[in-house]
Amino acid sequence: MTTDPNEPGFIPYCPPRKSLTQMREDAVAFERRMDQRRSVRHFSADPVPRDLVEAAIRTASTAPSGAHRQPWTFVAISDPTTKREIRLAAEAEERETYARRMSEEWREALRPLGTDANKPYLEHVPWIVVVFEQRFGLDRDGQQIKHFYVRESVGIACGMFIAALHNMGLSTLTHTPSPMGFLTKILKRPAHERPVILFPIGYPASDAQVPNLRRKALDEVAVFNP
């Protein structure tokens, strides 16, 4: 066992092994639960307690990361003024994207989803969480700490964040207006952080509708090479 205070050392890890029957039951139950997940664009204004958002962020932060650097920052916003500022800036970028940046092929792919540049839910939801990737870290003296596999690590954490929200009964959407620099400015984040995904979070509206999409079958997404 190391005695270096800068090294984490090791601890025993031997969780109880489930029976195969229990594993299969848990796997099926979780799959069915997650198969109900949908990206929601119509939210209720009903409040969501802060501790639920905190729990989802803590769950996301259990994600594996390169050299355990945990190169992410979750910025949670409930202030109405800030949410409106984000909406207006996001819609401005989206209008530019739909009008000039987006190819016809991209527009055609989005057409069945019914998306456009209007994002009223950004003001309507009780919470917005913006995830930033940390290109590098800073120690107590302000010196840079190298981060590894930043984009991959943050992507995994975002996936676990979505799963945590859905598991507790909340809905969200992965919103990625491009460019996203306005979020750095509005939220006053440091230059070494870069916004990756914006998550509106809340309960679905009572009249919410989502596209009737088919998920790919297992043989369309997996190859088993014995």
In order, the DSSP letters of 58-108 are HHHTTS--BTT---EEEEEE--HHHHHHHHHHHHHHHHHIIIII--HHHHH
Question: Residue 3 above 60 pLDDT?
Answer: no
Closest CA to 126 of 56, 59, 204: 204
pLDDT, tens digit (0-9, with 9 covering 90-100), for 140-190: 998 999 999 999 999 999 999 999 999 999 999 999 988 999 999 999 999
Half-sphere exposure of 188 (CA within 13 A, CB side): 2
Contact 172, 162 (CB under 8 A): yes
In this prediction, residue 157 carries a pLDDT of 98
In this prediction, residue 63 carries a pLDDT of 98
- What 3-state DSSP class applies to 50? helix
Q: What is the pTM of this model?
A: 0.92
In this prediction, residue 4 carries a pLDDT of 47
Could you tell me what percent of the chain has a pLDDT over 70?
A: 97
Amino acid letter at 202? G
Question: Residue 5 above 70 pLDDT?
Answer: no
Amino acid letter at 26? D
Q: How confident is the model at residue 107 (pLDDT cuts 50, 70, 90)?
A: confident
pLDDT, tens digit (0-9, with 9 covering 90-100), for 67-102: 999 999 999 999 999 999 999 999 999 998 888 888
pLDDT, tens digit (0-9, with 9 covering 90-100), for 26-64: 999 999 999 999 999 999 999 999 999 999 999 999 999
pLDDT, tens digit (0-9, with 9 covering 90-100), for 16-26: 999 999 999 99
Domain residue limits, the chain: 44-204
| Dist. CA 197–CA 184, nearest whole Å | 12
In this prediction, residue 226 carries a pLDDT of 84
CATH of 44-204, one of 3.40.50.620, 3.50.50.60, 3.40.109.10, 3.30.70.580: 3.40.109.10
Question: Residue 2 above 80 pLDDT?
Answer: no
